[in-house]
Structure 1
Amino acid sequence: MPESRDQVRRRITGDDALLVEHLMDVILAEIPGYQVLDAVQLAEVRAQIRWNVSRVLELWATGTSLTEADANRFRGVGAVRARDGRPLSVILRSYRVAASAFMGYVADRFGEVLTARDMADLTRVWLAADDKLSDALHDGYQAAENSISTDRDRAIGRLVSDLVLGRHAHEGAFVARLRELDVPLPQRFTVVVLQSAAAVDAVLPAVAEPVMHAVIDGTGVVVTGQADLKALHRRGARCCVLADIGANETPRWYRLARACLDRAPADRLVLDRGDAEVLALLAGRADADPERAASTVLAGIASQEHLTETLDALFVAGNAEEVAVRLGVHPQTVRYRLRRITAMTGRDPRRPWDLFVLQCARLATR
């Protein structure tokens, strides 16, 4: 008397350890990503294989279909895999590899007691189950991934707020939170403070990874490894760029940047640390430093006597022709020197605010 499907099912599941290890070996051989899983994760994979085999054989023997409870189980599996960081494509491939290996195993060991119809139905049941469970797995994975992304975005936003508002007990606490969020920000970084919160998305292409951003009291703040000043100019967003600063310095610089954006003329679109330092001097802040303001604004021209004397003459002369008369040089020479000053300081002496900042920096240490 031929064996019933239920009898075959019991024979297969009665010695499922052999089948589970066979499918596990095939998956490990076919999918390198599974070879790096730890012992706990491999035990979870074995348990899932055992459940799949048992459930598919049950459906095949009883002529039933997967339930919503089965789908919910796989939504949960998908969510767990997303939090593990295991790629969805790799997980789905493991089910396809297991399906082929399972059908081969059954055909080799039970081919004599199963009819062609039995094998065809078993294949159909596995594929139908795989299709439904894959959809559920995908849904759970995507939902969890979206949740993780949202949670991470919120955590990064809080980190940026705490950074600029000085809520860290010490720099090590900030570094520890960066590590937890997997943000490889260098020890010295750049903060871009934007006058408009709406401009954050517009300036992101002008900054380098890694990047964090947040909106604080209507102001956009972007923290990055470095920013492209020319690209920021092209983006047209009014901002203050604070380059080469550390976590402990950030609150001070942030306050100065906000003051710069409120008080500096709008004709200077992209402000920087030099503008902030000069503003600190003018406001009489206790932490203002004349030497630091001068070195920040004047950059490389402080040691170029011909450039500094040209700048000093411009403060009282007003235009290139008058400067040329005072210095006894050709007006074209003066224009060339002014272009050099602009290139080296990022400030155009022909613009009132830039000229004012340059003059303040020159006067700061006299």
Structure 2
Amino acid sequence: MYPARVAVVAKIESELGPVVTSAVRAIRDAIPVYGTLQGAQLADVEAIAYWSLRRLMALWAGGDRSIDDRDHSRFRAIGAARAADGRPLTDVLRAYRVASSVFVRHVASEYLDTLEPADIAELSLGVLDAIDAISEEIIGAYVIAREQLTSNRAQAHAALLDDLLAARHTSPGALADRTRELDLELPSHPDVLVVQSADSGRPMSDDTVESLVLALGLVPPDRSTTAGQRTHLCTRREQRAILLLPNIVGRTAIDSVCTEATLRGCLVERSTIADIGSSWRLAAQALDTAPDHAFDDRALLDQGDGQLLALLTARPTADTSEVVRTVLGPLTEAANKHILQGLSAFIATGTATAAATRLHLHPQTLRYRLRRAQELTGRDPRSAWHRLALDTAIQLRQLG
């Protein structure tokens, strides 16, 4: 033991919180991927920083530069975890160098009068040795984990979608690296499709999911294809399949395929990458609560149905403005005010003739407006479910 070093370590231990905060701040400032981390991921970085600096101080105070088997094991686990969440290897290793630099500078600036030059030199050499050992363990585990993740494309693609659903990818850079490794070109605003069998007793098997993907004109992720063709992801949750689709597929085609396959689903169009998790939950909850007659003329619910059902079931996420936006769509635009008036009159009176009389219009003019309303919203006001959705959205808009 070195008494001066032990005394300094004891003092640093009492102020380790601010030191770790400075180290993590330096990492986030220097490395863009880390600058976007939040919540559990940021807490994980802080916990690793605490542990790493404590181990470094213990080794330095005891005059020992070698890390033991438990340290090796932990750094291998960290390397594998960073491979799984897609954080670039170069950024992971740089984070340790940045944190170590902050720590050495802190010791040199605050305790220069207490320590001998040899103590500072030994700390610097110890840091270099530790980073060398850490790098070897992390690189080895990272490479092995990435090889395992990419060896089975279908499994790797499903794992990526699982991470997106759980909001474990908050960094655009990390996501870009991972999609590149998996030969994927995901759209910036994909469609989120959740499907299940219309027969509650029929399971959603891998074969059913593959048939669905093929019918949509896409290639299953374990098939050999060019990078430009891999624009979708799919995974399964219990009796449901979740698919991330390119916008080119289209609602009409998806509805037709689901009808043919006796599937029911909910499609949330043009979701942002960051909102994929909330889009999946909205769709899943819509399928949980939608009445059978909501599917009378179609196989797919949409985002408006999901928002309406969130409101009707009093979920905390219910947003009245979203009900109006997603159900009425273009009808809220000033240019379509006359169409919305015609639709409102029809819902209030129950017939086109009565609605035309109320608005002093010819019945054919009113019927034309109803056809345009259906074209713009995708909802037939003669259907009980669509009428409920349209009426609710209209009333909410008026109240707002």
Class of the TM-score when normalised by the shorter of the 2 chains: 0.5 to 0.7
CA distance in 2, matches of 1:284, 1:170: 33
Mapped contact 1:191–1:241 kept (Cα < 8 A): yes
SS in 2 for 1:187: coil
Counterparts of residues 51-200 of structure 1 (less than 5 Å): 151-196=152-197, 197-198=204-205, 199-200=208-209
Q: Are 1:224 and 2:245 counterparts? A: yes
Mapped contact 2:195–2:265 kept (Cα < 8 A): yes
**C-alpha displacement of 1:317:** 1.1
**C-alpha displacement of 1:169:** 4.9
Counterparts of residues 1-366 of structure 1 (less than 5 Å): 151-196=152-197, 197-198=204-205, 199-204=208-213, 205-206=215-216, 209=229, 210-226=231-247, 227-235=249-257, 236=259, 237-264=263-290, 265-267=294-296, 268-303=298-333, 304-365=336-397, 366=399
Distance 1:357 1:168, change over 3 A: same
**C-alpha displacement of 1:189:** 0.9
**C-alpha displacement of 1:207:** 6.0
- What's the TM-score, normalizing by structure 2? 0.51
The number of residues matched between the two structures is 220
Out of 192-201 and 337-346, give the one that drifted further. 192-201
Unmatched runs of 5 consecutive residues or more in structure 1? 1-146
Residue 299 of structure 1 aligns to which amino acid in structure 2?
A: G
Deviations 1:162-206 (A, max 9, x none): 222334354544343222212110221111110233553343233
Deviations 1:84-138 (A, max 9, x none): xxxxxxxxxxxxxxxxxxxxxxxxxxxxxxxxxxxxxxxxxxxxxxxxxxxxxxx
Larger radius of gyration: 1
Residue 256 of structure 1 aligns to which amino acid in structure 2?
A: L
Q: CA RMSD in A?
A: 2.3
SS in 1 for 2:193: strand
**C-alpha displacement of 1:233:** 2.4
Cross-structure match for 1:76? none
Mapped contact 1:190–1:224 kept (Cα < 8 A): yes
Q: After the TM superposition, which segments of 4 or more aligned residues of structure 1 sit over 6 Å from their partners?
A: 147-150
Distance 1:202 1:153, change over 3 A: closer
CA distance in 2, matches of 1:245, 1:251: 10
Mapped contact 1:253–1:276 kept (Cα < 8 A): no
CA distance in 1, matches of 2:151, 2:295: 35
SS in 2 for 1:195: strand
Mapped contact 1:211–1:225 kept (Cα < 8 A): yes
SS in 2 for 1:191: strand
**C-alpha displacement of 1:220:** 0.9
Mapped contact 2:304–2:326 kept (Cα < 8 A): yes
Cross-structure match for 1:88? none
Distance 1:361 1:200, change over 3 A: farther
**C-alpha displacement of 1:148:** 9.5
Mapped contact 2:193–2:242 kept (Cα < 8 A): yes
Distance 1:151 1:238, change over 3 A: same
Residue 266 of structure 1 aligns to which amino acid in structure 2?
A: F
- What's the TM-score, normalizing by structure 1? 0.55
Mapped contact 2:236–2:242 kept (Cα < 8 A): yes
SS in 1 for 2:152: helix
**C-alpha displacement of 1:353:** 1.0
CA distance in 2, matches of 1:177, 1:281: 37
Unmatched runs of 5 consecutive residues or more in structure 2? 1-147, 198-203, 219-228
